[in-house]
Structure 1
Amino acid sequence: MTHPRDESAAPSRRSVLRAAGGAASGLGLAGLATPAAATATQSDDAPDGWSVPVPRNVRVVTRNLGLGARLYGFVDTDSLQVEPAQVYERYQQVRASAPGERMRAIAAGLAAELPAVVGLQEVARIRRGPNDYTGGSEPNAEREVYDFLELLTDGLEAELERYDFDVGYEVAVVSGNLDEEFPAEGPDGERFDVRLTDRDVVLVRDDLTVRSTDDGDYGLNVSAVLEDGTRVSVTRGYALATVELEGARFSFVTTHLAVASRIVREAQAVQLAGLIERRDGPVVLAGDLNTTPEGDRSSAYERLVESGLRDTWAALRDEPGPTCCQGELLRNNRSRLRSRVDHVMTAGPVVPLAARRTDTDPGDRIEVDTPDGPVRLWSSDHAGVVADVRVEPRTREFVPLLQGLLFG
Structure 2
Amino acid sequence: MVGSPDERRGVRRRSVLRAAGAGVAGFVPAASGAAAASGRQPDTSADWSARLPQHVRVATRNLGLGARLYGFVDTDTLRIDPEQVYERYQQVRSTAPPARMAAIASGLADDLPAVVGLQEVARIRRGPNDYAGGSEPNARREVYDFLDLLTTALESELDRYDFDVGYRVAAVSQNLDEEFPAEGPDDERFDIRLTDRDVVLVRDDLAVRRTDDGTYGLNVSATLEDGTRVSVKRGYALATVELEGAPFTFVTTHLAVASRIIREAQAEELAGLAERRDGPVLVAGDLNTTPEGDRSAAYERLTDAGLEDVWAAVTDDPGPTCCQGELMRNERSRLGIRVDHVLSAGPVVPLAARRTGADPDDRIEATTPDGEVRLWPSDHAGVVADVRVEPRTRDPVPVLRRLLFG
TM range (shorter): 0.7 to 0.9
Aligned residue number for residue 187 of structure 1: 185
Aligned residue number for residue 203 of structure 1: 201
Residue in structure 1 matching 2:26, options 22, 29, 32: 22
Aligned residue number for residue 299 of structure 2: 301
Give the direction of change, closer, same or farther, for the CA distance of 1:131–1:118 in structure 2 (3 Å limit): same
Q: Name the CA distance, whole Å, in 2 between partners of 1:197 and 1:21.
A: 31
The DSSP-based 3-state class of the residue aligned with 2:186 is coil
| Structure 1 position 78, deviation (Å) | 2.9
Q: Name the CA distance, whole Å, in 2 between partners of 1:317 and 1:136.
A: 49
State the number of aligned residues. 376
The DSSP-based 3-state class of the residue aligned with 1:198 is strand
Structure number with the higher helix fraction is: 2
Aligned residue number for residue 320 of structure 1: 318
Residue in structure 2 matching 1:353, options 333, 340, 351: 351
The answer to whether the 8 Å contact 2:391/2:399 transfers is no
Letter in 2 for 1:306: D
Letter in 2 for 1:217: T
Residue in structure 2 matching 1:36, options 30, 35, 43: 43
The DSSP-based 3-state class of the residue aligned with 1:150 is helix
Q: Name the CA distance, whole Å, in 2 between partners of 1:270 and 1:11.
A: 42
Aligned residue number for residue 45 of structure 1: none
Q: Name the CA distance, whole Å, in 2 between partners of 1:18 and 1:400.
A: 17
Q: Name the CA distance, whole Å, in 1 between partners of 2:113 and 2:52.
A: 20
Structure 1, residues 351-370: CA drift from partner, whole Å, max 9, x if none?
Answer: 00000101112221001123
Letter in 2 for 1:220: L
The DSSP-based 3-state class of the residue aligned with 1:254 is strand
Letter in 2 for 1:106: I
Letter in 2 for 1:35: P
In structure 2, runs of 5+ residues without a counterpart are 1-13, 33-40, 401-406
Q: Name the CA distance, whole Å, in 2 between partners of 1:296 and 1:267.
A: 16
Q: Name the CA distance, whole Å, in 2 between partners of 1:290 and 1:143.
A: 32
The answer to whether the 8 Å contact 2:94/2:369 transfers is no
The DSSP-based 3-state class of the residue aligned with 1:211 is strand
The DSSP-based 3-state class of the residue aligned with 1:291 is coil
Structure 1, residues 51-78: CA drift from partner, whole Å, max 9, x if none?
Answer: xx8861100000000001113346x443
Aligned residue number for residue 388 of structure 2: 390
The DSSP-based 3-state class of the residue aligned with 2:80 is coil
Give the direction of change, closer, same or farther, for the CA distance of 1:26–1:161 in structure 2 (3 Å limit): farther
Structure 1 residue ranges, 4+ long, deviating more than 6 angstroms after superposition: 397-402
Q: Name the CA distance, whole Å, in 2 between partners of 1:103 and 1:359.
A: 12
Describe how 1:222-301 pairs up with structure 2 within 5 A: 222-301=220-299
Give the direction of change, closer, same or farther, for the CA distance of 1:333–1:400 in structure 2 (3 Å limit): closer
Q: Name the CA distance, whole Å, in 1 between partners of 2:54 and 2:320.
A: 28
Q: Name the CA distance, whole Å, in 2 between partners of 1:96 and 1:290.
A: 25
Percent of aligned pairs with the same residue?
Answer: 75
The DSSP-based 3-state class of the residue aligned with 2:192 is strand
| Structure 1 position 18, deviation (Å) | 3.7
CA RMSD in angstroms comes to 2.5
Residue in structure 1 matching 2:171, options 164, 170, 173: 173
Letter in 1 for 2:201: L
Q: Name the CA distance, whole Å, in 2 between partners of 1:381 and 1:196.
A: 19
Give the direction of change, closer, same or farther, for the CA distance of 1:313–1:23 in structure 2 (3 Å limit): same
The TM-score, its normalising length taken from structure 2, stands at: 0.87
1:58 and 2:45 correspond: no
Give the direction of change, closer, same or farther, for the CA distance of 1:122–1:73 in structure 2 (3 Å limit): farther
| Structure 1 position 394, deviation (Å) | 2.2
Give the direction of change, closer, same or farther, for the CA distance of 1:399–1:375 in structure 2 (3 Å limit): closer
Q: Name the CA distance, whole Å, in 2 between partners of 1:380 and 1:73.
A: 20
In structure 1, runs of 5+ residues without a counterpart are 1-9, 29-33, 42-52, 403-408
Give the direction of change, closer, same or farther, for the CA distance of 1:228–1:312 in structure 2 (3 Å limit): same
Give the direction of change, closer, same or farther, for the CA distance of 1:23–1:379 in structure 2 (3 Å limit): same
Letter in 1 for 2:265: A
| Structure 1 position 373, deviation (Å) | 3.4
Q: Name the CA distance, whole Å, in 2 between partners of 1:321 and 1:399.
A: 38
The answer to whether the 8 Å contact 2:236/2:251 transfers is yes
Deviation larger for 366-375 or 90-99: 366-375
Give the direction of change, closer, same or farther, for the CA distance of 1:379–1:155 in structure 2 (3 Å limit): same
Letter in 2 for 1:380: S
1:160 and 2:162 correspond: no
Q: Name the CA distance, whole Å, in 1 between partners of 2:154 and 2:399.
A: 44
1:127 and 2:134 correspond: no
Structure 1, residues 151-176: CA drift from partner, whole Å, max 9, x if none?
Answer: 00000000001112200001000000
Give the direction of change, closer, same or farther, for the CA distance of 1:59–1:100 in structure 2 (3 Å limit): same
Letter in 1 for 2:310: T
Give the direction of change, closer, same or farther, for the CA distance of 1:54–1:88 in structure 2 (3 Å limit): closer
The DSSP-based 3-state class of the residue aligned with 2:187 is coil
Letter in 2 for 1:22: G
